[in-house]
Amino acid sequence: MSRLLTVLAIFALAGAACAQDDYDVTLVVEPQTVTIGEVFVATVEFTLPAGYEAIVPGEGADLGGAEVRSVEQSETALSDGGKRFTATYSLALWEVGESSLTTPSIASRGPDGTVAEIERAEATVTVSSVLPEGAEEIRDIRGPRAMPLRWYHYLLAALPVLALMVAIALLVRWLRSRRRAEVPKKAIAPPLPPAEEALLALDRLEREDLVGEGHIKEHYVRLSWIVRNYIERRWRLPALEETTGMLSYTMGGSGRVGDDAVDQITALLRRADLAKFAKHRPEALVARDDIGHAREIVRATRRREEVAEDAVPDDVAASAAG
């Protein structure tokens, strides 16, 4: 009798293990052919048995090098007690050719707390150029037409320039004479170092408490500008002009920004983009914590001379100033 119970227990455990491994993971890309930079959708679906929870990456998910614009998640209860999970990612690719995408690193948490990564599915998407097929570059339809010029053409073209130069000279002379009559102004203070300027701006944003007033989008607009302005001043990179995805590649390829800093900055700016452009409304606690995350990034990446100045004791600094 005891042997029979043992055999039945073994079969039951084997069946449970098989059910746990049968996730039925699928990855569907629509459309399968896009132009460079065009947003497309990748839908990930998988099934978990009863009592299991899914851990699905959000905007920081890695689907094979594609830029994640947004993500939506949902779940459906099944008749056997399990659940069917769906995660829809809005993506963009910036390299021409066929790209292989994979489902992100999805994990399941069992009733006993054990976490295990589930199998991955693959799909391909073809990225085409915006140029016509067979064209190597965009060319003019018709070449420039030669126009014969006479001496008076040059004279007519120079007259507006000369008039503008005379007007500028007169304006400069008038401004100088006006400044002499005014009280001398105070000397303009030199610009603050990038890290000090960013930290002061973050303190000011925290005191204004836009989150407490319900202005989440305005909060992230200000926070994103402070971080991007710091990147532009600190590493001389076009942070105020590029999208988050482009800036991430620029920072990583510049050789000036560490990999950890690139990952932290990219994650923070992507959360800000979701709040600014995707009508995503994060919790107030998360929005306030992002100010602290920005401070940590600035303090960890500021120049050595700024750290050295901060390390000088107050009494030494006072005596040096005296």
Phi, psi of 85 (to 5 degrees): -100, 145
Model confidence over 52-71: pLDDT tens digits? 888 888 878 887 788 888 89
Query: Of the candidates 222, 242, 220, which has an alpha carbon nearest to the alpha carbon of residue 232?
Result: 242
Model confidence over 81-103: pLDDT tens digits? 888 989 898 888 888 888 888 88
pLDDT at position 57 is 87
Catalogue the E-assigned strands of the chain. Answer: 26-30, 33-35, 40-48, 53-55, 67-77, 83-92, 97-102, 107-109, 115-117, 122-128
pLDDT at position 318 is 38
Give the Cα separation of 14 and 51 in Å (integer): 17
**Tokens for 79?**
């008749």
DSSP track, 194-209: HHHHHHHHHHHHHHHT
CB 106 within 8 A of CB 74: no
Which regions of the chain are under pLDDT 70?
1-22, 131-145, 181-187, 278, 307-322
